[in-house]
Amino acid sequence: MAMPEQDPTTRAHQGLENSNSSARLRAALAVGTTPDPRFIDKLVERCAIEPDFHVREMLTWALIRQPASMTVPKLIDELRSERTQARSQALHTLSKIGDRQAWPAITRALLTDADDEVARSAWRAAVALVPEGQEPQLAVVLATQLGRGGSETQLSLSRALIALGEMIMPTLRAAMTDPAPGVRQHAIVTERLLRDPDAGFEFAIEAAKRVAALGGTSQKG
């Protein structure tokens, strides 16, 4: 006797939980190809725990294909999760959806999150969602993170600030006089990249080190 055909939702859920990452990738692709709101909760749940980067990207794509009116509130709920990956991936997905109803949820706490991946995702989401006219306030908050982390994190912050445009210059100039050499250097690097987007980040860092050092010497004199 033939076995009864499995419910599509059950089949999708099992696929997303498969121990094989390729199987999970195929399941996420299938869910995104045929959007169905019944899958939203499971997609959000998997984003929080999925270990494979490529599968996470496919999960995000599948969520983008769903109605924003249904996905955005659930993703906003994830921003309060204790799981760093849940917060980071929800921010990443919100930045891709681009629905500005999520803007109030991009809090200062997220923009200054202790976890670098969460903070970097928050910076990208904030730049994507910031309402017109609120860019200066966002730049001020982002500038509090200048000098943070390694080169990858610093490059992410520089890119976020540069995406806001020329209006960041007063904030950068103020940071260039900061007592902390790392903050001064990062502000100088960001200004150089704003002026010359083709300049390499590492090259800009070396140049900024010399300027920051001179600035530090002149302040002491």
Supply the DSSP string of 132-182, one letter for each residue: TT-HHHHHHHHHTTTT-SSHHHHHHHHHHHHHT-GGGHHHHHHHTT-SSHH
State residue 11's pLDDT score.
84
Domain that holds residue 23: 11-129
The predicted pLDDT at position 3 comes to 47
Question: Which of 123, 12, 107 minimizes the C-alpha distance to 59?
Answer: 12
Query: Which pTM was predicted?
Result: 0.87
**Within-domain flag for 2:** no
Q: Which of 64, 94, 129 is the last residue of a domain?
A: 129
State the pLDDT at residue 219. Answer: 36
Do residues 42 and 92 both lie within one domain?
A: yes
Structure tokens given for 219: 């302040």
The total number of structural domains in the chain stands at 2
Of 94, 113, 129, which residue is a domain's last?
129
Are 160 and 124 spatial neighbours (Cβ–Cβ below 8 Å)?
Answer: yes
Q: What is the pLDDT along the chain (221 residues), one digit of tens a residue?
A: 444 556 777 888 899 999 999 999 999 999 999 999 999 999 999 999 999 999 999 999 999 999 999 999 999 999 999 999 999 999 999 999 999 999 999 999 999 999 999 999 999 999 999 999 999 999 999 999 999 999 899 999 999 999 999 999 999 999 999 999 999 999 999 999 998 877 766 666 666 666 656 554 333 33
What is the per-residue pLDDT for 182? 92
Q: Does 210 map to a domain?
A: yes
Contact 113, 81 (CB under 8 A): no
The Cα diameter of the chain in Å comes to 91
Q: Indicate if 19 and 64 belong to the same structural domain.
A: yes
Q: What pLDDT was estimated at residue 80?
A: 96
Same domain (yes/no): 194, 177: yes
- Shared domain for 92 and 143, answered yes or no, is no
**Same-domain status, 147 and 113:** no
Residue 32 lies in a domain: yes
